[in-house]
């Protein structure tokens, strides 16, 4: 059976690699099209190139040679080609008489192929598949269905092609598109100054590149896709600009006009990892850690966007942010930019609010006013779910008629945090184990800074907070969630190190159901 190698799964399988000739072909393709291309489009170019390469190779192998058929007569010295042997070719070295009772008289030719002698039948009049019209079979081999090859193999080719192109300096990638530096137009410092001015006039952005291009006086003879690609590339390498759109689109913002809490992580969210022995955490504590879903916990992310509920912690309530945690992260658009915008839609009122996803800081900024207007307390339940429109997230909370509830309130005295139970009006559903508050945020912030400057250990911080919380109930116990919530008023710390400290230090004693007591007689710093 004659079959093109490029039509077999093995050809495009694990051993397939991108060759220099493929890169040269892509380069020539760019010179012809003079426009940016997606990786998928370039993968098609490679597949078509490989098919044409095989066709040219077959034509070369056939050139000046006779296609072997058992019925034909051959003379020594003739050059033959064997399509069924992947178009191997050889020279006839000998001819002798052969005989078979089934086939009668025929000849046997000795052919040298790749330095090795082989024998084939000749002048064979019996029926044989190779005596059929070889021209038709070869023509069929050269007639490759490119569209079918694209559908079957372009995805795998694309992945390998992207890895290769990333190593070649001449190729530039922006989002889903690729281009070559030699065809990009010059975007000079004057153009970038103009872009800055345009964004400043428009409140910093966001603006699409196509909204800025008409004002930059670029060569109108250059395709707009090249102008756009060149401008995006130049702005991407200029620290004045932030690309803030999700994957699949591009929009720009003037970085100095972004909110302060987007350009710099808010103080209450600044996180420094604490080393701890994760093996100390029991399955029950690990389950509690997942329930809390802190953005800095070592948790596997949820794979797809799903409606979720979270309890607001003090650092995020104070900063007007939401955590990018294992459950919430999939709800927000994916972007290659460290900062990008998202639109929150209040499910109750339909109002829209601009949010900022800050990837490195693992938070989403933009909800301070919404928290205050709706009276959402620390520990309050926040509901999130995907919106039908890309780039938007629906937000809601457990709306209730305000009632006066007993809540933990923090005060500061003698450079220490104190807690007391006081009645406050709460207009949302909340987790009673997490709710903490304060009427003296400035004093709590100042104490937090003092603790940070003293570089106090986590154990000493817990030893200060724990007795204050324990005094609020007759059993003198504190739930691990409450300790986590209160400790985060003074230091941004994830649940894992807190739970490990409870297990590790003999001063903390478990009494079941995640409640703990503190034995001051067994306390020692460390």
CA angle, corner 497, sides to 496 and 500, nearest 5? Answer: 85
Q: How confident is the model at residue 1 (pLDDT cuts 50, 70, 90)?
A: very low
DSSP string, 7-64: GSTTTTSTT----HHHHHHHHHHHHHH-S-EEHHHHHHHHHHHHHHHHHHHHHHHHTT
More confident residue, 290 or 54: 290
Q: Which residue has the tokens 């137009």?
A: 185
* pLDDT at 3 > cutoff 70: no
How far is Cα 498 from Cα 449, in angstroms, rounded to an integer? 20
pLDDT in tens, 154-210: 999 999 999 999 999 999 998 789 999 999 999 999 999 999 999 999 999 999 999
pLDDT in tens, 349-385: 999 999 999 999 999 999 999 999 999 999 999 999 9
**What's the whole-number mean pLDDT along residues 222-243?**
94
| pLDDT-wise least confident of 94-103, 108-117, 308-317 | 94-103
pLDDT in tens, 263-318: 999 999 999 999 999 999 999 999 999 999 999 998 988 778 899 999 999 999 99
Of the options 2.60.40.10, 3.40.50.1370, 2.40.50.140, 2.40.330.10, the CATH number for the domain spanning 282-400 = 2.40.330.10
More confident residue, 514 or 78: 514
* pLDDT at 64 > cutoff 60: yes
* pLDDT at 514 > cutoff 90: yes
pTM of the full predicted structure?
Answer: 0.76
Question: Which 8-state DSSP code applies to residue 415?
Answer: T
Q: Which tokens belong to 430?
A: 């909340």
**What's the whole-number mean pLDDT along residues 99-114?**
82
**What's the whole-number mean pLDDT along residues 47-76?**
80
Q: How confident is the model at residue 476 (pLDDT cuts 50, 70, 90)?
A: very high
* pLDDT at 230 > cutoff 90: yes
**What's the whole-number mean pLDDT along residues 492-498?**
96
pLDDT in tens, 429-448: 999 999 999 999 999 999 99
How far is Cα 90 from Cα 61, in angstroms, rounded to an integer? 11
* pLDDT at 139 > cutoff 50: no
332-335: Cβ within 8 A, 24+ apart: 332/357, 332/364, 332/393, 333/246, 333/247, 333/357, 333/390, 333/391, 334/246, 334/247, 335/244, 335/245, 335/246, 335/247, 335/359
CATH class entry, domain 184-258: mainly alpha
Residue 141 pLDDT: 53
Q: Is 86 helix (H, G, I), strand (E, B) or coil?
A: coil
* pLDDT at 418 > cutoff 60: yes
Domain boundaries, the chain: 1-181, 184-258, 282-400, 401-522
C-alpha dist (Å) from residue 407 to 267, 271, 336, 391: 25, 27, 42, 37
Q: How confident is the model at residue 347 (pLDDT cuts 50, 70, 90)?
A: very high
| pLDDT-wise least confident of 68-72, 131-135, 278-282, 456-460 | 131-135
């Amino acid at each position: 059976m004659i079959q093109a190698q490029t039509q077999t799964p093995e050809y495009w399988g694990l051993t397939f690699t991108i060759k220099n000739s493929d890169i040269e072909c892509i380069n020539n393709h760019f010179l012809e099209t003079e426009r940016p291309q997606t990786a998928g489009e370039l993968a098609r170019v490679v597949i078509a190139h490989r098919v044409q390469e095989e066709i040219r190779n077959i034509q070369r192998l056939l050139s000046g040679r006779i296609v072997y058929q058992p019925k034909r007569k051959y003379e020594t010295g003739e050059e033959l080609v064997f399509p069924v042997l992947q178009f191997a070719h050889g020279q006839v070295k000998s001819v002798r008489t052969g005989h078979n009772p089934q086939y009668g008289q025929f000849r046997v030719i000795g052919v040298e192929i790749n330095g090795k002698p082989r024998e084939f039948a000749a002048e064979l009049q019996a029926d044989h598949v190779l005596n059929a019209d070889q021209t038709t079979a070869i023509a069929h081999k050269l007639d490759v269905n490119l569209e079918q090859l694209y559908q079957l193999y372009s995805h795998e080719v694309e992945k390998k092609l992207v890895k290769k192109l990333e190593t070649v300096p001449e190729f530039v990638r922006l989002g889903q598109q690729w281009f070559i530096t030699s065809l990009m137009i010059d975007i000079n410092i004057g153009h970038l100054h103009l872009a800055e001015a345009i964004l400043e006039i428009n409140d910093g952005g966001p603006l699409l590149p196509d909204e800025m291009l008409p004002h930059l006086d670029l060569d109108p003879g250059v395709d707009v896709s090249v102008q756009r690609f060149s401008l995006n590339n130049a702005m991407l390498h200029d620290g004045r600009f932030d690309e803030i759109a999700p994957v699949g689109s591009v929009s720009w913002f003037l970085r100095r006009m972004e909110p302060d809490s987007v350009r710099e992580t808010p103080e209450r969210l600044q996180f420094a990892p604490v080393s701890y022995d994760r093996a100390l955490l029991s399955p029950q504590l690990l389950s509690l850690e997942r329930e809390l879903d802190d953005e800095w916990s070592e948790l596997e992310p949820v794979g797809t966007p799903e409606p979720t509920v979270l309890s607001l912690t003090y650092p995020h309530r104070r900063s007007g942010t939401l955590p990018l945690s294992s459950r919430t992260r999939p709800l927000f658009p994916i972007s290659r930019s460290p900062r990008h915008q998202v639109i929150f839609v209040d499910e109750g009122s339909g109002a829209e609010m601009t949010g900022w996803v800050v990837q490195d800081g693992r938070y989403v900024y933009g909800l301070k006013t919404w928290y205050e207007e709706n009276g959402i307390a620390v520990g309050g339940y926040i509901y999130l779910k995907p919106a039908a429109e890309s780039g938007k997230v629906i937000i809601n909370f457990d709306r209730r008629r305000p009632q006066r509830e007993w809540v933990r309130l923090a005060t500061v005295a003698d450079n220490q945090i104190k807690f007391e139970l006081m009645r406050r009006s709460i207009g949302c559903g909340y987790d009673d184990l997490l709710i903490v508050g304060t009427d003296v945020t400035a004093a709590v912030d100042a104490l937090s800074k003092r603790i940070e400057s003293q570089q106090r250990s986590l154990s000493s911080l817990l030893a200060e907070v724990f007795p204050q919380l324990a005094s609020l109930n007759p059993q003198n116990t504190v739930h691990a969630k409450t300790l986590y919530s209160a400790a985060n008023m003074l230091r941004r710390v994830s649940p894992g190190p807190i739970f490990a400290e409870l297990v590790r230090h003999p001063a903390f004693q478990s009494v079941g159901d995640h409640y703990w007591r503190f034995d001051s007689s067994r306390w020692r710093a460390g």
